[in-house]
Every structure is written in structure tokens, then in C-alpha cells.
Amino acid sequence: MAGFQNNVLPQVNGQIPIVRRVQHRARRTVIQAISAPQRPSETAEPSGDSIRLLDVDNAERARLESTDAFSELVALSRNNVQKQSVNRRQKEENLNFRQNPTFEDCFPNSAKQYVLVEHNGTSLQVPFRRVTLDGGSGHFDIYDTSGPQ
């Protein structure tokens, strides 16, 4: 503790810290300094941001104490237009499901095929889709991740 000679501690932010001495078994003296800023009082003159924040808190507290929060919530809920719960069960006759399109609908000029590939002595079947182009331009192959049909 080179900076603390003769048990005199420097001031921190213009405040004198509180000093406490603790004796250990090795008979060494350890100095602990605790410095806490003073709390601004409500009657203090506004000189910084903390006072302004305190004034805002007091204004908000006064507003909340002067109103009836429950009646405000009731008024807000009455203004709500939506009355039906989103999670309410729907009538079966109103349900309308879309059918998933088939591959023939999505790819009318295509066919799923497989290519045999040798990899590290293992024979693999790689799926691909052969798409035939319009106008006799030929075809092209794309990797097919759709799984079994």
C-alpha cells in the first residue's frame, strides 16, 4: 500500500473515504477504503443530471399517485375492438386448408433420377431431377433434396 502513508487516504471525488482497519493472524494491518457518493436530497439545488433525474422521478410519482391506474386500464380495455381470442377453436365448416402441390404441378417437365457414385469404395445413389426445357433446348440436372416420393 505504497500510496497510503501514515494511514492518510486521498480524497475521492472531493469526499473523504471511510477507513476501517482489520488485523489478521499474521499481524499485518490492511486498510480498506469505502467511498460512496452522497445521495442528492430533494431540497438540494439543481446542479447536475442526477437532480434532474430525481425531479423527473418525483413528477412521475406525483402523476401516478394522482390517478387511478385501475380505472385507466379498464378504459383502455373497453377501447379495444378485438373481442375474440386468437386461440379460440374455429368451427369446422369455416376451416379451409390448402393442399400441398405435387412435384408434377411444380415441375411439369421433370423426372426424378439417380446417379450411382463411387466414394471411398462405397456405392452411393445420388438423387437429381432432370428438367426438360421447352422448345427442344435440351435438359439440365439439379440436385434433388425432396426425399422419397
pLDDT in tens, 60-77: 777 767 777 777 777 777
Asked if the model's pLDDT at residue 107 lies above 70, the reply is yes
Per-domain residue ranges of the chain:
50-78, 106-143
Secondary structure class of 113 (helix, strand, coil): strand
Note the pTM of the prediction, 2 decimals.
0.31
The answer on pLDDT for 5 being more than 70 is: no
Q: Which secondary structure element, helix H or strand E, spans residue 60, and what is its range?
A: helix 49-66
Residue 49 CA to residue 44 CA, distance in Å, equals: 13
The CA distance from 124 to 117, in Å, is 5
Please give the single-letter amino acid code of residue 30: V
Q: What percent of the chain has pLDDT over 90?
A: 8
